[in-house]
Amino acid sequence: MSIFVTGAAGFIGFHLCKRLINEDKFVIGFDNLNNYYSKQLKLARINRLKEISSKLGKRFLFIEGDICDSQSLKIIFKEYKIEFVVNLAAQAGVRYSIKNPNAYIKSNIQGFANILEVSANFKIKHLIYASSSSVYGGSNIAPFSELNNVDHPISLYAASKRSNELMAHSYSHIYNLPTTGIRFFTVYGPWGRPDMALYLFTENILKNKPIEIFNDGKMGRSFTYIDDAVESLNRIIFNIPPSHIRNKNEYYPPNKSWSPFRIFNVGSDKSESLLNYIEALEEILNKKAKRKYLPLQQGDVKITASNNEELYSWIGYSPKTDLRIGIKKFVSWYKKYNGIK
């Protein structure tokens, strides 16, 4: 079995590859190793995957490349007879999308179009792709459900992810290509991204620098521990959505279709206050943060809250890791990775 994971040097991609390797799957990791954040961290993740693979019998192959290069994708799919695709490659970051919109159009739209096209042409068994809780945009109906309307994105990043969902449905319909979109909610944990809140807060607190708290801390997030995200992904990969004959009288909600198409939230069902999140981190670090309160940033939302009923009904699992346990594991990794005692 060959599984193609794009964004393999990224946070979620790294952890998913590690899980698949440990379960005796052959994984082809693909990443362009861009400089959006530390390339050193990305290379450290890839090297760790190679070490694990070497011990277990060479189950991992890394290829440096870009999903915007359609020709390279065709060569890889043909040579390695790809069966499953998990597309985690994307330009991330809500605020960054306001300053650098072209990066999102290129990677998240054109790049994803290439993934859809090659997946359809090579008739892969299942394409799973990362969407985002950001698609809920200006919704004030919490917790967020996949059955809700998501037609009001408030950042280009969110719009690009919603576009992915619509593009995927068209390919599911035209080519009978099984696709599943995953709306991730604020994933955190060891090997996390340096631009994410937990990494930034930990780094600044330990360096006696102020942490920036937007909207005066009046924000809530469904903080989702990485192991829960990967467990959900692993189950979804091999749970392929079926297709059936379209019934003209049947109502199809936004997250499913007559085509082999599904969308799921993957997030903690508990929305935590940002201030509680910071207090938990302070307690684990045994150090108080210097706080700098700022207004809500353009493109940000005040709250995210995940409804997991659809996910649980599909795979019999939903995120459950306690926030303090997850933060403690991150801090332990952070100190070890940065040589802090």
Domains of the chain listed by start with CATH number: 2-191+224-268+304-320 (3.40.50.720)
Beta-carbon contacts of residue 23 (< 8 Å; ≥ 6 apart): 234
19-24-26-30 Cα dihedral, nearest 10 degrees: 10
What pLDDT sits at residue 300? Answer: 84
Residue with tokens 């969110």: 158
- What stretches of the chain show up as alpha helix (H) in DSSP? 11-22, 39-56, 70-80, 94-99, 101-104, 112-121, 156-175, 197-206, 226-237, 274-285, 309-315, 323-337
Active site residue 157: yes
Q: Are 42 and 50 in contact (CB under 8 A)?
A: no
What pLDDT sits at residue 95? Answer: 74
CA distance 217 to 294: 8
Q: Are 187 and 322 in contact (CB under 8 A)?
A: no
Rg, the chain, Cα only: 20
pLDDT digits over 164-208, tens only? 999 999 999 999 999 999 999 999 999 999 999 999 999 999 999
What pLDDT sits at residue 318? Answer: 96
What pLDDT sits at residue 208? Answer: 96
- Check 129, 157, 188, 277 and give the catalytic one: 157
Q: Are 242 and 176 in contact (CB under 8 A)?
A: no
What pLDDT sits at residue 57? Answer: 85
pLDDT tens across the length of the chain (341 residues): 899 999 999 999 999 999 999 999 999 999 999 988 889 999 999 999 999 999 988 899 999 999 999 999 999 999 999 999 999 998 887 777 778 888 899 999 999 999 999 999 999 999 999 999 999 998 878 899 999 999 899 989 999 999 999 999 999 999 999 999 999 999 999 999 999 999 999 999 999 999 999 998 999 999 999 999 999 999 999 999 999 888 878 889 999 999 999 999 999 999 999 999 999 999 999 999 999 999 988 878 889 999 999 999 999 999 999 999 999 999 999 999 999 98
How many H-runs (helices) and E-runs (strands) does the chain carry?
12, 13
